[in-house]
Amino acid sequence: MSNLLEILKDLDWSPLYISIKTAIVATIISFAIGIHLAKKATFYGDKRKAFVDGILSLPIVLPPTVAGFILLIIFSKRRPLGSFLFEKFDISVVQTWLGCILAATIISLPLMYQNARAAFEQVDKNIIYSARTLGMSERKIFYRVLVPAARPGLVAGIILCFARAMGEYGATSMVAGNIPGRTGTISQTIGMVISDGNYLKAGIWVVIVLLISFVIIFGVNIFSNKAK
């Protein structure tokens, strides 16, 4: 018990802060991109929709390390895009917190997109047609009709997106590394302390993750029930 109290007292909470702020930023970006793509895909034909779904679903079916490797190749300072961003704008993705955000966004975006598209497709299209007949612009229809009607599904998507970004490990490790206080997330910290043989400290972080995960699942269930 005394060892546990000592570990809690000396515990570096930066992985929790880094994970939370990374998940928040990644969720905001994924939400903005996801609902836009979902809106477009809702009115696509079957073949076009299947193609877009296939592209956006790749991060789900691919191992996260593969996605991380692709991002590493693209944004490395030795590559054209990475070199351009660094030389022209002093933006570095690899081994930075920006890399954490990028990796978490790429991995969690499919969840936001899929939930948003499913929510939009459940909205009665007659409501949209009626709004157009009344002369509402497409922008107003989207924000005043489509989004409010699909709100429960969108909220569930946000929660799942946040959860996925919060727990991202493989792609983040490839792109951002595990720099304590800068890019070291909870998932990376657990892997590191286990490799060091500190199972008690790893257990503390596992309990923290379990609590956060339970709250997230509880939130998803609440909004899923409201959507029915």
Reported as a single tens digit per residue, the pLDDT across 152-164 is: 888 888 988 998 9
**pLDDT for res 79:** 87
pLDDT in tens, 82-118: 889 888 888 899 899 999 999 999 999 999 999 999 8
CA–CA distance, 178 with 181 (Å, rounded to integer): 9
Q: Which two tokens stand for residue 213?
A: 């995960």
Q: Which two tokens stand for residue 82?
A: 């990475």
pLDDT cut 90: percent of the chain above it? 25
- What sections of 62-96 are H helices per DSSP? 64-75, 80-89
What is the pTM for the complete model shown?
0.87
CA–CA distance, 148 with 24 (Å, rounded to integer): 22
Residues 6+ apart with CB under 8 A from 157: 31, 34, 111, 112, 114, 115, 116, 119
Average pLDDT, the chain: 86
For residue 151, CA distances in Å to 105, 145, 158 come to: 21, 10, 10
pLDDT in tens, 29-47: 999 999 999 988 887 877 8
Q: Select from 71, 70, 48, 31 the least CA-distant residue to 153.
A: 31
- What sections of 43-150 are H helices per DSSP? 46-61, 64-75, 80-89, 97-121, 125-133, 138-141, 147-149
Count the Cβ atoms, other than its own, within 10 Å of residue 111: 25
59 within 8 A of 114, measured Cβ to Cβ: no
* Helix and strand counts by DSSP (H, E) for the chain: 13, 0
**pLDDT for res 226:** 61
CA–CA distance, 117 with 150 (Å, rounded to integer): 9
Fold type of domain 2-227 = MetI-like fold (1.10.3720)
